[in-house]
Amino acid sequence: MTTLTHEISHRPDFAMVSVKLEAGQKVQAEPSAMASMDPNILMKAGFKGGLKASLGRAFGGESMIVNTFTAQNGPGEVLFAPGTPGDAVHYALDNSTLYLQRGAYMANSDGVEVTGKWQGAKGFFSGEGLVLLKAHGSGDIFFTSYGAILEIDVADGGYIVDTGYIVAFEETLQYRVRTVPGMSTGGKIKSFLFGGEGLVCEFSGQGKVWIQTRSAAPFLNWTWPFRPTKNNN
Amino acid sequence: MDDFDDTFSGGVFHADIADGRAGASIDCGVSALSAVTTTGARFELRYDACTVRIGGASGRMVFCRSLDQSLTIFCEQKGFAAALQQAAGGLLDEGLAQSKSELRGANARSRNLMFGLCLGCVVLLVAGYFALMAAGRAALAAAPPSIDEKIGELAIEQMDLKGSVVEDPAIVAPLEALVARLAATDPDDPFSYTLTVVDADITNAFALPGGQIAIYTGLLELADSPEQIAGVLGHEIAHVTERHGMHGIARSLGLVVAIQFLVGDAGGLVAVAAEFGRFAAENAYSRDQEADSDRLGVERLHAAGIDPRGLAGFFELLERETASDVDIPSWMSTHPDHAARIAAITTQAQRFSNQTYTPAIPTADWDALKAALSPTVTTPSPPEETSDGRDNR
């Protein structure tokens, strides 16, 4: 298991990931994530993990292309910046799997494969899209989100997250889409249609879930009335 | 001791591990599960002091937990549940079976919810579609005829008529008189009609919202009698009075525009509507709308004292034309099923009690119209004999 020496600075609002590579060490990242790097770092673009994994990433809201950064003739540093204002989190995979929301992937070390995982109707109604990203293997993965990221330890009681606020969760957690507990059927329908809180994700089992402190869609709704408009009449 | 030699890869939850969790290789021993983490820490969990549960994101992960809940060994690998069951010698059968049935129940509930939601979405879509159509119709009913006129005028301005506008009074005047005669049959008609004769060898005529009617010289050429022309015009007028074009526009523009029509913000929308109107004119009305226009056209012709069988006669003419002509005229392609329409028109025409009709266009005018048409279409005039003086013979 390779471990990358890394540091995440400027958290949580404008997080930046700095990875210090030893000679010959590699890190892979989504296109356009690289902000700066030492001159001895070689960047190479390619379809990582073959066609299936690449397509999986594409359906999971990522690029099919992954850039590989390799330190040549000595150590070097690469800095990665996420596309949105928000947090970045490091997670060490230990022959395990981490599920990520669409577009949350930023970078990973060797030994980790990032692909898509079909969720179907469950994914659709959970607000996470039809395909989740799945990172599997042993190594490091960095994921990002709009807003800050909170790590939650789910214990036996389970945990409920509003759809659209899930950033990542561990494979040991079971998740299902359900209606808000403790509401009457009429209340549920009313809430689903007008309250915007109709469906939630319930996590159960033991493990961690990462949630974001802001969701992009409500923010866009909030900015909508302020957008500049052109009057054609 | 470890007779069940399968080693599985999974993980361990324990407070002693950094981060509380680590990957591990798991062995199903005789009396206990043993797990060795990637950092070398070893954990044991006796079968008689553990509970099992199946779950995880995949729904296939097996969790074995100590009774005091301090240690959990988990594994998702295929065959682990079976190996565990075998190694535990019946101790965990009940727990596994119960967990499996719980999982099935939860899956079924989830499936039902998903199915219900999908069904709900479909119902909403369908209901939304019909609501949209109803709103469009309501908006149209509320829209004053002046909107039809605005759209029709704009549309005909923007249209590529595929020919020049004919201004020869010998052609235009009798046709305009015919339109006026047809229009006069309904004094309550809010629309006024403007006829445009286009010089092009196209067997077609069309109506735009608000009373814009265009007829091609190709169609006039083809017609044997003024009653056939009257039939076509009667049919087109019915498209206008029934606002068929506007229905098409309302459908195309959808709810938002329909509401804006109601509210009265017509400015930019009229331009868009004109675009759609043009599209509607160039494309077929629905079969029902065509049948309606035939029926109303026949009624109007009868009311104007013109033999309505002219319309059927025109269709017969078209049918003969297309039989001998590979290039199907556009009138044909947008007005299918001629035989049925001819039959319907003839049946309807026979039911009228008073069948005294006068010519649609007085014979002298009709002859003049036909004569005026000839040079415009069959232009090639015989080359004039010229002598340049040098030719002495």
**Each residue of B73-93: pLDDT tens digit?**
999 988 898 899 888 888 888
Q: Is the pLDDT of residue A34 over 90?
A: yes
A23 contacts A72 by C-beta, under 8 angstroms: yes
The CA distance from B73 to the nearest CA of chain A, in Å, is 11
Handedness of CA B288, B293, B294, B295 (dihedral sign): positive
Whether A97 has its CB under 8 Å from any CB of chain B: the answer is yes
Single-letter code of the amino acid located at A200: V
Tokens at residue B99, please?
A: 């967990």
B254 touches chain A (CB under 8 A): no
**Cα(B234)–Cα(A224) distance, rounded to whole angstroms?**
51
The region of weakest confidence among A56-70, B74-88, B211-225, B247-261 is B247-261
Res A199: pLDDT: 73
Per-residue pLDDT band for B385 (boundaries 50, 70, 90) equals very low
With CA atoms as reference, report the closest residue to B304 among B174, B184, B176, B175: B184
Q: Do A172 and B74 touch (CB under 8 A)?
A: yes
| pLDDT tens digits along B11-44 | 999 999 888 888 999 999 888 999 999 888 999 9
- What pLDDT, on a 0 to 100 scale, did the predictor assign at position A88? 95
Is the Cβ of A197 closer than 8 Å to some Cβ of chain B?
no
Return d(Cα B274, Cα B272) in angstroms, integer. Answer: 5
Question: What's the domain range around A154?
Answer: 5-219
Distance CA B96, CA B54 (A): 7
Is some CB atom of chain B closer than 8 A to the CB atom of A100?
no
A26 located within any domain: yes
pLDDT digit string (tens) for B236-282?
Answer: 999 999 888 887 777 666 655 554 555 455 555 566 666 665 555 55
ipTM reported for the complex, 2 dp: 0.78
Closest residue in B to A122 (Cα–Cα): B114
Query: What pLDDT band is residue B2 in, cutting at 50, 70 and 90?
Result: very low
Q: What is the amino acid identity at position A72?
A: Q
For residue A100, being part of any structural domain is answered with yes
> A15 near A86, Cβ under 8 Å?
yes
- List the single residue in B with minimal CA-CA distance to A177: B110
Chain A residues touching B74 at Cβ < 8 A = 172
Mean residue pLDDT of chain B comes to 81
Please tell me which residue, B334 or A18, carries the higher pLDDT value.
Answer: A18
Q: Is A122 on the interface with B (CB under 8 A)?
A: yes
pLDDT value at residue A39? 94
Place of tokens 């959808």: B254
Contact B23 A94 (CB under 8 A): yes
Residues A122, B110: C-beta atoms closer than 8 Å: yes
Does B270 touch chain A if contact means CB atoms closer than 8 Å? no
Residues of chain B with pLDDT > 90, as a percent, come to 24
Computed over every residue of chain A, the mean pLDDT equals 85
pLDDT of residue B324: 55
Residue range A77-102: average pLDDT?
Answer: 92
Can you count the helices (H) and strands (E) in chain A?
4, 17
* Total of domains in chain A: 1
pLDDT at B300 (0 to 100): 92
Strand order in the sheet with A173-179: A159-162, A199-205, A173-179
Of the pLDDT bands very low, low, confident and very high (cuts 50, 70, 90), residue A124 is low
Angle of CA points A61, A27, A99, to nearest 5°: 40
Tokens matching residue B238: 């019915």
Query: What DSSP line would sit under B204-232, residue for residue?
Result: -EEEETTTEEEEEHHHHHH-SSHHHHHHH
- pLDDT score recorded for residue B195: 92
pLDDT at B289: 85
H helices of B143-286, in order, are 145-158, 169-183, 217-222, 226-241, 244-263, 267-282
| Mean pLDDT calculated for residue range B349-377 | 84
| C-alpha B32 chain-centroid distance | 66
pLDDT at B284: 60
What does R_g of chain A's alpha carbons equal in angstroms? 19
Q: Does A20 touch chain B (CB under 8 A)?
A: no
Best of A204, A206, A229, A233 to substitute, by most chain B Cβ atoms within 10 angstroms, is: A206
Q: Do A121 and B268 touch (CB under 8 A)?
A: no
Predicted confidence (pLDDT) per residue in B110-150, tens digit: 788 888 888 888 888 888 778 777 777 777 777 788 888 88
Tell me the nearest-neighbour CA distance from A23 into chain B, angstroms: 25
Cis peptide before A12, with omega less than 30 degrees from 0?
yes
The closest CB to that of B113, out of A120, A173, A178, belongs to A178
Predicted pLDDT of residue B352:
86
Using the Cβ of A172 and the Cβ atoms of chain B, whether some distance falls under 8 Å is answered with: yes
CB contact under 8 Å between B11 and A172, yes or no, is yes
d(CA B392, CA A76): 102
Better-scored residue on pLDDT, A163 or B209? B209
Q: Which residue of B has its CA nearest to A153?
A: B20
Q: Is the pLDDT of residue B64 over 80?
A: yes
Q: Is the pLDDT of residue B387 over 50?
A: no
Phi, psi of A197 (to 5 degrees): -125, 25
Enumerate the residues of chain A whose CB falls inside 8 A of the CB of residue B118. Answer: 121
Q: Is residue A224 part of a domain?
A: no
Instruction: Identify which of A89-98, A179-188, B99-108, B370-379 has the greatest average pLDDT.
Output: A89-98
Spell out which residues of chain B touch residue A121, defining contact as CB-CB under 8 Å: 114, 117-118
B40 touches chain A (CB under 8 A): no
CB contact under 8 Å between A205 and B55, yes or no, is yes
pLDDT score recorded for residue B161: 81
B216-235: average pLDDT: 91
Whichever domain contains A59, its CATH number is 3.60.160.10
Strand-pair partners of A141: A91, A108
A163 in B contact zone (CB under 8 Å): no
Question: Domains in chain B, ordered, with CATH?
Answer: 7-103 (2.30.29.30), 143-376 (no CATH)
SS3 content of chain A, % helix, strand, coil (to 5): 15, 50, 35
pLDDT per position as a tens digit, B292-313:
899 999 999 999 999 999 999 9
Give me the mean pLDDT over the A203-216 stretch: 91
The verdict on residue A228 lying in a domain is: no
Q: Which of B38, B61, B110 sits opposite A171 (nearest CB)?
A: B61
Q: Tell whether A232 is within 8 A of chain B (Cβ).
A: yes
Confidence tier at A122 by pLDDT (50, 70, 90)? low
Q: Which range (A9-23, A127-141, B188-202) has the least confidence?
A: A127-141
Contact between chains at A174 and B57 (C-beta distance less than 8 A): yes
Distance CA(A106)–CA(A103), nearest Å, equals 8
- What type of residue sits at position B139? A
Look up residue B198 and give its two tokens. Answer: 């286009």
The more confidently predicted of residues B134 and B10 is B10
pLDDT recorded at residue A167: 92
Place of tokens 């997250």: A161
Give me B239's structure tokens. Answer: 């498209």
